[in-house]
């Protein structure tokens, strides 16, 4: 007996894939019209400075090397912006998003760091509240419970405008803070809270955290 189910299933699968790809193209077109541009070209590290040996570009993915890491920063500086990207964490993965940071110094304090972390790892069970994913490190704790399971792609949006910092993880706001007048919760000096511009980048700690579809909308004139 001839079976017709498999060809039909393949046809439906191809139709679904085409529909998803078409939707992605339409979303990309809308973002481009709104002023978003790629921060990572998907091919190499052109436009980045700092630890360019600690990361690698692989088929559209920016990966922190397990034996690499360090601070990889955008060559351009930004003041107010909307940053969108996707990331995938390995078990126990740890990285960070640096914003408004100078080219030298520890971005967590010289600028600001938004944690990128596998909140579910046992090794992180006793961290301070301001050390979990999405938190402004040492300053503002993020809501937890909105990361996808380890190994799946997450989407994140970061909106920085003046003294306001908003972080949206997989469609849910997890930080909505006015940093004006705030002080560090860990007792350390945090001059980065007063900076109004700087580099954007990633702060790797030797785990293979992957990033893709990194794009930015500059809300002010970018400073080189």
Residue range 129-152, pLDDT digits in tens: 999 999 999 999 999 999 999 999
| pLDDT at residue 21 in the model | 46
Q: What is the rounded CA–CA span in Å between residue 18 and residue 21? A: 5
Among 3-17, 85-99, 154-168, 174-188, which is the least confidently predicted range? 3-17
Q: What is the pLDDT of residues 21-49, one digit of tens each?
A: 455 567 667 887 889 999 999 999 999 99
For 157, which DSSP code?
A: E
**Residue ranges of the alpha helices (H) in the chain?**
5-34, 107-110
- Using DSSP, state whether 172 is helix, strand or coil: strand
Write down the domain spans for the chain.
1-34, 36-218
DSSP 8-state assignment for residue 197 = -
CATH class, 36-218 region = mainly beta
Q: What is the pLDDT of residue 103?
A: 97
SS3 assignment, position 18: helix
């Amino acid at each position: 007996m001839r079976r017709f189910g498999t060809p039909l299933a393949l046809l439906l699968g191809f139709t679904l894939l085409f529909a998803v790809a078409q939707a992605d193209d339409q979303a990309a077109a809308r973002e481009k019209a709104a002023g978003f541009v790629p921060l990572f070209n998907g091919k190499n590290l052109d436009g980045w400075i700092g630890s360019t040996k600690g990361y690698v570009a692989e088929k559209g993915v920016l990966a922190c090397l397990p034996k690499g890491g360090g601070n990889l920063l955008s060559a351009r500086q930004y003041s107010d912006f909307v940053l969108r990207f996707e990331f995938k964490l390995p078990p126990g993965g740890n990285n960070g998003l640096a914003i408004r940071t100078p080219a030298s110094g520890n971005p967590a304090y010289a600028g600001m760091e938004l944690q990128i972390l596998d909140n579910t790892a046992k090794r992180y069970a006793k961290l301070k509240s301001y050390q979990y994913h999405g938190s402004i490190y040492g300053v503002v704790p993020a809501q937890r419970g909105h990361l996808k399971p380890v190994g799946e792609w997450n989407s994140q949006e970061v909106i920085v405008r003046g003294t306001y910092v908003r972080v949206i993880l997989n469609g849910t706001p997890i930080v909505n803070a006015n940093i004006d007048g705030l002080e560090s919760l860990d007792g350390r000096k945090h001059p980065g809270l007063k900076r109004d511009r700087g580099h954007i980048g990633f702060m790797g700690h030797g785990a293979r955290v992957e990033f893709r579809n990194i794009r930015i909308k500059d809300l002010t004139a970018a400073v080189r």
